Amino acid sequence: MGIPFSYTMRNLWTRRLTTVLTAGGMALVVFVFAAVQMLDTGLRQTLIATGQPDNIHVTRRSAAAEISSVVDRAQADVVESQPEIAIGAGGLRLVSKEVVVLITLPKHGTGVATNVTTRGVGEAAFDLRPQLRITEGRRFQPGATEVIVGTSIARRFDGAAVGSLLRFGGREWRVVGRFEAKGSAYDSEIWADADQLQQSFRRNAWSAVVARLADPATLPALKGRLETDPRLTLDVKSEREFFEEQSRVLSNFISYLGLTLSVIFSVGAMIGAMITMYAAVATRTGEIGTLRALGFRRSSILATFLLEATLLGVVGGVAGLLLASLMQLVQISTLNWQSFSELAFRFTLTPQIVAVSLGFAVLMGFVGGFLPAVRASRLSIVDALRAV
């Protein structure tokens, strides 16, 4: 027969200060554990949302990022003429030949010079990225020195509001519109007409070619053909895969660092739980003796103390998750090492993170409470009853 649940609850309540301190320590560990995963998830989601499933992304072979890629005009034309590529409303192929450069802008408030991806796009680019929506102003006119800016850029940089002038590449560019791209990496970009951008940066080649496939299933065949074509030195990837790779270094860094820290910190919290539970066992020796004398088994005593420790973990876990869920209001921006430019993303809480964090908290409580619970269950009745 088990010992009533209310016994455990009341024990935790009687030693409120100790319960709060122990659970508080665990809550902080769970907070770090959950926040790191939320950050990683936010980063991945941002970059995955950037890629459309049926788009392909073509860059120079082994170029790690768009800025170090060069696709010359002849090669880009070969890609454009492939039969797998979809045809748009106007009868033109859905291909955008793009040039990507970095410019430096001062961040709002701090004035820190920050790299911003500036993308010159063809007319099909807007059809290729249906997630992109103009929220203020209008699109740039082809052939004009006009730009549109992503929401994150407009918010975080000086002089990037609609109507202002940006100076780069030896020219002045008027900001004519602001766009929103569903939290993807494009929100941290500036877009302009590809030909204009190419001229001002004296480029004679493209950085990347983006195209829509009529049927996504044809990607492997197309990839195989283009990558073995001796005229071309290109990598062909699905857009989603390309952007996922862009996040890999940063994502690995965040998750490795976060996991290491959580494990180390949890040692501290488990020690806290252990101290609390050992003390609980020591002060309740008489009670344990009484319970045993009343006929409760060793296993019931073990279960009770384990339950108490696990409850401590649950309280800590819930508190930690509540703290962490507040982080969803925070947007952070940092340099993405692979694209070498600014990227903004949010802390994103998913049900999976909630489940894993709670599991982690329960595990901490369980592990911390295990040895004390074993000690409690192994007390002999007579000795325990004699203790004061």
Give whole-number Cα distances, 223 to 57, 74, 238, in Å. Answer: 10, 18, 9
Q: Is 62 in the site for other proteins (CB under 8 A)?
A: yes
Stretch binding other proteins (CB under 8 A), from 3-11, 18-26, 45-53, 291-299: 18-26
d(CA 259, CA 252): 10
Residue given tokens 């790779």 in the structure block: 245
Number of residues that bind other proteins (CB under 8 A): 57
Who's near 310: CB < 8 A, 6+ residues apart? 362, 365, 366, 369
Helix, strand or coil, per DSSP, at residue 94: coil
Interaction mask 209-248, other proteins, x per CB under 8 A = ------------------------x---------------
d(CA 346, CA 332): 6
d(CA 38, CA 30): 12
Minimum Å gap between C-beta 31 and other proteins is: 7
Q: Is 314 in the site for other proteins (CB under 8 A)?
A: no
Nearer to other proteins, 221 or 279 (CB): 279
Nearer to other proteins, 38 or 210 (CB): 38
d(CA 276, CA 369): 9
Contacts 24+ apart (CB under 8 A), 291-295: 291/3, 292/379, 292/381, 292/384, 293/381, 293/385, 295/1
Whether residue 226 contacts residue 207, with contact meaning beta carbons closer than 8 Å, is answered with no
Nearer to other proteins, 168 or 360 (CB): 168
Interaction mask 334-353, other proteins, x per CB under 8 A = xx----x-x-----------
Q: Is 363 in the site for other proteins (CB under 8 A)?
A: no
Minimum Å gap between C-beta 267 and other proteins is: 5
Minimum Å gap between C-beta 19 and other proteins is: 9
d(CA 358, CA 351): 11
Q: Residue 372 carries which side chain, given as an amino acid letter?
A: P
Interaction mask 250-289, other proteins, x per CB under 8 A = ---x---x---x--xx-xxx-xx-xxx-xx---x------
Scanning residues 63 to 82, which ones bind other proteins (CB under 8 A)? 63-64, 67-68
Q: Is 199 in the site for other proteins (CB under 8 A)?
A: no
Helix, strand or coil, per DSSP, at residue 182: coil
d(CA 359, CA 141): 54
Q: Is 101 in the site for other proteins (CB under 8 A)?
A: yes
Nearer to other proteins, 177 or 372 (CB): 372
Ramachandran sector of residue 313 (left: φ over 0; alpha: ψ -120 to 50; beta: rest) = alpha
DSSP 8-state code for residue 218: G
Stretch binding other proteins (CB under 8 A), from 106-114, 119-127, 140-148, 348-356: 106-114
Nearer to other proteins, 67 or 76 (CB): 67
Minimum Å gap between C-beta 297 and other proteins is: 25
Minimum Å gap between C-beta 181 and other proteins is: 21
Minimum Å gap between C-beta 68 and other proteins is: 5
Scanning residues 114 to 153, which ones bind other proteins (CB under 8 A)? 114-115
Interaction mask 155-174, other proteins, x per CB under 8 A = -------------xxx----
Q: Is 18 in the site for other proteins (CB under 8 A)?
A: yes
Who's near 120: CB < 8 A, 6+ residues apart? 98, 99, 100, 101, 191, 192, 193, 194, 195, 196, 197, 198
d(CA 74, CA 206): 10
Residues of the shown chain interacting with other proteins in the complex, contacts defined by CB under 8 A: 17-18, 21-22, 24-25, 28-29, 31-32, 39, 60-64, 67-68, 101-104, 110, 112-115, 168-170, 201-202, 204, 233, 253, 257, 261, 264-265, 267-269, 271-272, 274-276, 278-279, 283, 332-335, 340, 342, 388
